[in-house]
């Protein structure tokens, strides 16, 4: 970006596509804020399409009372108290394991070469293509309720399934029992568990300085499993198991503090080099954000979809999910050289969610009959 100008740009593509009459692309440098703070700022500039006099309705605050790693307080009884103490011992052990893995990744631990890992084209610059596809939020919530898990668990499971289908289709590998283990960088918002609506209201009332701007992110090194499962729900079960394990760790807090310390002590160049090395040793970046639960207008124009993404890090594939009204947009930033069939990969996401939903429906029917 041009450093002699503010590090944001607004581009309007005033021609029709299959989705909208025109498209606005907002390009912002990551130093100005993370996805959540930028989405908050954008939503404070919109209005409800149903009632332009008010701000759009946002999703409610999460039900969890504190951080994702916070242990519930024990109930009465010695055994309950012992279990509560034991949970902290498990938390400490998992944190130690994850911190060792974090340093090992920076120093020497690399993911195996797969079609999803970036290939170094002898110093050539990476050409990124950003593509998106809409998924049904109602279908995701149906699977969530049937599997007694979270929306994030379902999305991670859908990603497992989609990448597995793409791998075996594009590589021609016929070893059905084969399973590849790669790692993703899962970005986690560390702001207090207030709703997006509360932050937007603060901006509207002139208290924008009280909103936590900038980058308040930690990250988790999350295992991804590439393999074909006979039961589509196994992708979600495995995702839930992996994510639950990561919730029982202070890894996200440690990585956030480590990034701040490295930046302040060693400077931007050292922090950039370390981050670049860690990203290069993993395979995928992954994130998801929640958006308005009703259609919004921006400067009087209805917004049909929101599709955030990022480019710059040395990865061949970045997966972002963004909810808006009753849809979830899956947005992929990928290396054109490695993913010539990028729309075929998007088809795998749609098909995988469909297979998982159908399997959940069969479980629901069996339970209702019982």
Active site residues: 30
Q: 3-class SS at 69?
A: coil
Rounded Cα–Cα distance for residues 175 and 34 (Å):
40
Cβ pair 144, 151 in contact under 8 A: yes
Cβ pair 155, 182 in contact under 8 A: no
Work out the angle between the directed axes of helices 342-369 and 151-171 (0-180°, nearest 10). Answer: 130
Rounded Cα–Cα distance for residues 18 and 304 (Å):
11
List the end-to-end C-alpha distance of the chain, in Å, as a whole number. Answer: 61
Nearest to 251 by CA among 82, 105, 361: 105
Cβ pair 57, 292 in contact under 8 A: yes
Compute, in degrees rounded to 10, the torsion defined by CA atoms 188, 125, 334, 105: -40
**Residue 90 neighbours by CB distance under 10 Å:** 13
């Amino acid at each position: 970006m041009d450093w002699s100008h503010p590090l944001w740009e607004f581009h309007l593509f005033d021609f029709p596509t299959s989705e909208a009459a025109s498209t606005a692309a907002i390009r912002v440098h990551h130093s100005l804020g993370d996805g959540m703070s930028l989405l908050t700022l954008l939503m404070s500039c919109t209005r409800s399409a149903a009632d332009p006099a008010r701000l759009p309705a946002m999703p409610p605050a999460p039900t969890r009372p504190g951080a994702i790693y916070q242990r519930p307080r024990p109930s009465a009884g010695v055994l309950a108290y012992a279990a509560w103490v034991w949970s902290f011992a498990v938390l400490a052990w998992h944190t130690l394991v994850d911190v060792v893995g974090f340093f090992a990744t920076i120093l020497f631990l690399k993911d195996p070469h797969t079609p999803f890992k970036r290939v170094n084209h002898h110093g050539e610059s990476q050409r990124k293509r950003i593509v998106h596809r809409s998924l049904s939020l109602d279908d995701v919530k149906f699977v969530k309720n049937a599997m007694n898990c979270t929306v994030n668990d379902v999305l991670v499971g859908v990603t497992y399934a989609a990448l597995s289908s793409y791998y075996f289709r594009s590589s021609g590998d016929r070893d059905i029992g084969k399973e590849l283990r790669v790692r993703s960088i899962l970005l986690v918002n560390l702001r207090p568990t207030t709703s997006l609506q509360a932050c937007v209201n603060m901006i509207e009332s002139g208290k924008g300085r009280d909103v936590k701007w900038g980058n308040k992110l930690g990250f988790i090194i999350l295992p991804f499993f590439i393999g074909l499962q006979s039961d589509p729900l196994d992708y979600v079960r495995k995702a839930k198991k992996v994510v639950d394990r990561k919730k029982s760790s202070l890894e996200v807090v440690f990585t956030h503090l480590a990034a701040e310390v490295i930046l302040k002590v060693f400077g931007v160049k050292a922090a950039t080099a370390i981050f670049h090395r860690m990203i290069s040793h993993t395979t995928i970046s992954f994130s998801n954000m929640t958006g308005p639960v009703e259609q919004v207008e921006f400067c009087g124009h209805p917004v049909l979809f929101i599709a955030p993404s990022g480019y710059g890090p040395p990865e061949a594939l970045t997966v972002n999910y963004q909810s808006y009204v009753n849809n979830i947009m899956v947005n992929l930033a990928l290396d054109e050289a490695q993913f010539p069939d990028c729309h075929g990969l998007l088809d795998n996401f749609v098909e995988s969610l469909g297979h998982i939903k159908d399997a959940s429906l069969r479980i629901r029917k069996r339970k209702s009959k019982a």
